Amino acid sequence: MQFRSTRSLGLKSAGLRSADTATVSFKDAILNCLPANGGLYVPDSVVDMRQYILYMDSATSYPELVATVAPALLQGELNPFSAARVAESAFDFEPQLKQLDDTLSVLTLCNGPTGVFKDYGIAFLAAVMEELLGSTSRAMILSAARGDTGVSIAHAFSRRRGMVPVIIYPSGPVRGLDPNVISIQITGAFDDCQRLIVEAINDRPFAERYGITSGNAINPGRLLPQVFYYFYAFIKLKKILTGELVFSVPSGNFGNLIAGLYAWKMGMPVNGFIAAMNANNAFGDYVKGKEFKPGKLIQTNSPAMDVSVPSNYERLASFYAEAPAVMRHMVYPDAIDDQATLAAMEEAWKSYGILLDPHSAVAFAAARRMSRTAGFNGHVVVLATGHPAKYAELVAQTTGQQVPIPAAFTNLWKRTDPMATISPELDALEGAIASCL
């Protein structure tokens, strides 16, 4: 599978420089992470996966599915033996599909090592990078941290051969760090961390010297493996499906939603995706055909979805540029406020005996709304992206239940000290990286 920049669309015919139209291999895309002409990497073409999705049966385990699908997707870059090794070493956890009734299922994706669905993309990226790098090369994984994502990245990369994870934190407490990672705090905000990473990768001589790439969602190697769990949900459900199939996706930066759209483009039979947002819902207007105007950032009780300008905006826009009308029939935006989120946590417990974190509850509320829509007669799969134990207080308040806290999580919450604290400038970052090695 070749990757191209979101900014390369149609440039070939415009006779632009070859650097602007070039495609790169999966290996180059995950190790360089940012195209030379700006933008983000996206697959240059999609591979038809129907022969796998339609014929795999519901007894297929997650590592088996990954080991089968990944070599077909990566066409020659990952042989079946390598793929099996990657799948086994990445996934000692697997998604769980729980059917609640004829109209509703929950796909649990919050059972990885750090309790967020991002573990699925990160675990695969770390494992496949180790496999493709071979034993002589090294890579530095530069990543901006927010919430538990830094911990997830540190966890996945620190145990891999030849990889040096460097995590960049904004001002504030630093938690749960692995002693095997280089941790740098900047006196600035999360946006500054993201900007610095882009600047460091674009300082090509510096990036080449250390083999720098990123573990953040700008890396297409995190996006691609997220299609695996959509396929997995489909093969578990296909026997019982009689009408439409819709996924309800709790969305912030829209990586998860985009992966679903790729699964559909690869041939998975699905009728649509709910882009379930909290009060930060400017994307809804865009889907309805208006220009994208980022709103003011609003703090909600589903903080991982508090995003004003989605980092995947360029990837989404490239989908819409290709086929706007089709996209409008595939993606249904919905916005759920804090109060409705709490009500959904309560309803999920009272009606189905399940505990949801607030992010998953946003998707649950949107799914209920879809099911009540006149004329809809289908099945909605709610993606449970966050672990309820991380929101034990809200869970107790809405359901009266005490969630047991997995032992691994208490380590995630331990405060740690960064190795260096610097001003939010590229020079300072490059100096700190050199001196921490």
Residues that bind ligand PLP (CB under 6 A): 116, 118, 250-256, 304-305, 359, 385-386
Write out the two tokens for 104: 């509703």
Q: Which residue has the tokens 């440039």?
A: 11
Sheet strands (E) in 312-377: 331-335
Residue number with CB closer to ligand PLP (71 or 333): 333
Q: How far is the CB of 13 from ligand PLP (least distance, A)?
A: 32
- Other Cβ atoms closer than 10 A to 342: 18
Nearest-CA neighbor of 277 among 357, 191, 366, 368?
A: 366
Secondary structure letter of residue 116 according to DSSP = B
Contact 366, 336 (CB under 8 A): yes
Residue number with CB closer to ligand PLP (190 or 206): 190
Contact 331, 317 (CB under 8 A): no
Q: How far is the CB of 308 from ligand PLP (least distance, A)?
A: 13
Residue number with CB closer to ligand PLP (78 or 154): 154
Write out the two tokens for 126: 């770390």
Q: How far is the CB of 93 from ligand PLP (least distance, A)?
A: 15
DSSP 117-157: THHHHHHHHHHHHHHHHTTT--EEEEEE--TTHHHHHHHHH
Secondary structure letter of residue 364 according to DSSP = H
Residue number with CB closer to ligand PLP (122 or 184): 122
Q: How far is the CB of 106 from ligand PLP (least distance, A)?
A: 14
The rounded distance, in Å, linking the Cα atoms of 124 and 253 is: 19
Q: How far is the CB of 248 from ligand PLP (least distance, A)?
A: 12
Q: How far is the CB of 315 from ligand PLP (least distance, A)?
A: 11
Q: How far is the CB of 125 from ligand PLP (least distance, A)?
A: 14
Q: How far is the CB of 147 from ligand PLP (least distance, A)?
A: 7
Residue number with CB closer to ligand PLP (210 or 254): 254
Residue number with CB closer to ligand PLP (21 or 251): 251
- Report the relative pairing of strands 272-277 and 244-250 from DSSP bridges: parallel
Nearest-CA neighbor of 96 among 383, 311, 325, 358?
A: 383
Q: How far is the CB of 17 from ligand PLP (least distance, A)?
A: 33
Contact 338, 278 (CB under 8 A): yes
Contact 213, 30 (CB under 8 A): yes
Q: Which residue has the tokens 């749960």?
A: 176
The rounded distance, in Å, linking the Cα atoms of 21 and 8 is: 5
Residue number with CB closer to ligand PLP (73 or 304): 304
Write out the two tokens for 184: 């740098």
Q: How far is the CB of 97 from ligand PLP (least distance, A)?
A: 18
Residue number with CB closer to ligand PLP (121 or 165): 121
Residue number with CB closer to ligand PLP (139 or 197): 197
Residue number with CB closer to ligand PLP (35 or 250): 250
- Report the relative pairing of strands 212-214 and 244-250 from DSSP bridges: unpaired
Q: How far is the CB of 386 from ligand PLP (least distance, A)?
A: 3
Write out the two tokens for 96: 């769980």
Residue number with CB closer to ligand PLP (188 or 250): 250
φ, ψ for residue 80, nearest 5 deg: -60, -30
- Other Cβ atoms closer than 10 A to 395: 23
Kindly tell me the number of DSSP H helices and DSSP E strands found in the chain.
Answer: 20, 13
